[in-house]
Amino acid sequence: MPCDNIRDGLRPLGLVSNCWKVQLDSGNSLDSLVAEAVRLKLAAIELRQGSLGVYEAGSTCRPQADRLADLARRFPSVKFNVALSLPCLGSALTREDSMFLAGRSAAIALANRERPHLRLVDLQTRPEQCVTSSIETAARGLVELTEAMLEVEGILSIEHSWQPWPWFDSVMNAARRMLGERSARLRLCFDPCNLLLTEPSDDIASIVESIAPGDVSMIHVKQRRDGQVQSQVGDGDLDWPKLLKTLRQREHVAPMLFEIAPHVDVWANLENGIARLFGAAKV
């Protein structure tokens, strides 16, 4: 079921490549998976470190920019970005970090005449560390990384994970203030499901309501149940129809990228999720 019948203010739709972990581990090429996504009219693809197939190397899964440039040329209609796991909210990561630079080079290679786009997620800085961490220090770190992306006319997106939302939001706002007129180059990768890692479920709706559309580069779509990310976006801990209504009312237009758990039936699960969330969208 191609997705060309969907007309929603939240287009374009896409996915994160870690959805394809089962297929990649089974020997499917990333090229063939991207081609199928294109056939289904999925316009945005985030290439997540650890799920790049032959386009990354070594035990650290370092993106290979030269090869990724070839992938981008083969799929000129796709809006690509690259995503890395790095401790970007701590004090240790700098713009000279070799993995950060590899990610920046990969983002340049994948740009397809768009701005190079690098997304980072910090899985190391935990809630107990945030209690004693300086908001200003973390913000200055993000400014430094954003400035490194500005040098290549790029965008840096930061995804929240284990950091309490009030702390994370304060860091992002402080960094934007420091960047001033350049603040649009530091964006939020917003994942409502990740909020369940640190926030009471009753607070999710108000947090979604508080997000400024202009600050968001992409929205991740996944569902959790009993503490586990699901392979389908069905019933679970998030009321996605309600969240989508809020996002529409707030006039969000950032790409929505499915990040469902890997599964042998990933394509059917993606199509079911798209139909469930967007099939009844008003045209």
Q: Which residue has the tokens 């500005």?
A: 150
* Best CA proximity match to 34, nearest among 94, 78, 81: 78
Residue 226 phi, psi dihedral angles, 5° rounding: 55, 40
Instruction: Give residues with Cβ within 8 angstroms of 72, minimum separation 6.
Output: 78, 80, 109, 110, 111, 112
Listed in sequence order, the residues at least 6 apart from 273 whose beta carbon sits closer than 8 Å to its beta carbon are: 221, 232, 233, 234, 258, 260
Strand 44-48 versus strand 13-16 pairing type: parallel
Residue 227 belongs to a domain: no
Q: What is the pTM of this model?
A: 0.94
Q: 45-59: b or e for each residue (b if 16 or more CB lie within 10 Å)?
A: bbbbbebbbebbeee
What is the residue-wise DSSP string for 99-144?
HHHHHHHHHHHT-TTS--EEEEE-SS--HHHHHHS-HHHHHHHHHH
Contact criterion met (CB below 8 Å) for 270 and 15: yes
Q: Longest Cα pair distance anywhere in the chain, in angstroms? A: 50
Residue 155 falls within a domain, yes or no?
yes
Residue in 187, 156, 175, 198 with CA at minimum distance from that of residue 252: 187
pLDDT given at position 70: 97
- The kind and range of the H/E element at 38 are helix 30-39
Residue 60 lies in a domain: yes
User: What's CA 112's distance to the chain center, in Å?
Assistant: 18
Give pLDDT, residue 91: 74
Per the structure, how many domains does the chain have? 1
CA distance between the termini of the chain: 18
The conformational region for residue 127 under phi > 0 = left, psi -120 to 50 = alpha, else beta, is alpha
Q: 48, 83 in Cβ contact below 8 A? A: yes
Query: Looking at the domain assignment, is residue 226 inside a domain?
Result: no
Check residue 92 and give its pLDDT.
80
> Could you tell me if residue 200 is inside a domain?
yes
Residue 229: inside a domain: no
The reported pLDDT for the residue numbered 115 is 97
The predicted structure's pLDDT at residue 11: 62
- Which amino acid, one-letter code, is at 101? L
Q: Which residue(s) pair with 159 in the sheet?
A: 121, 189
Q: Is residue 24 part of a domain?
A: yes
Q: What is the pLDDT of residue 280?
A: 45
- The β-bridge relationship of strands 155-159 and 117-121 is parallel
User: By residue range, what is the domain housing residue 80?
Assistant: 14-218+241-255
Residue 6 is predicted with a pLDDT of 43
* 13 bridge partner residues: 256
Contact between 220 and 16 under an 8 Å Cβ cutoff? The reply is yes
Task: Output the domain CATH number for residue 35.
Answer: 3.20.20.150
Report if residue 261 sits inside a domain.
no
pLDDT in tens, the chain (283 residues): 444 434 454 468 999 999 999 999 999 999 999 999 999 999 999 999 999 999 999 999 999 999 999 999 999 999 999 999 999 998 789 999 999 999 999 999 999 999 999 999 999 999 999 988 899 999 999 999 999 999 999 999 999 999 999 999 999 999 999 999 999 999 999 999 999 999 999 999 999 999 999 999 999 999 999 999 999 999 999 999 999 999 999 999 999 999 999 999 999 999 999 999 987 443 2
CB atoms within 10 A of CB 69: 17
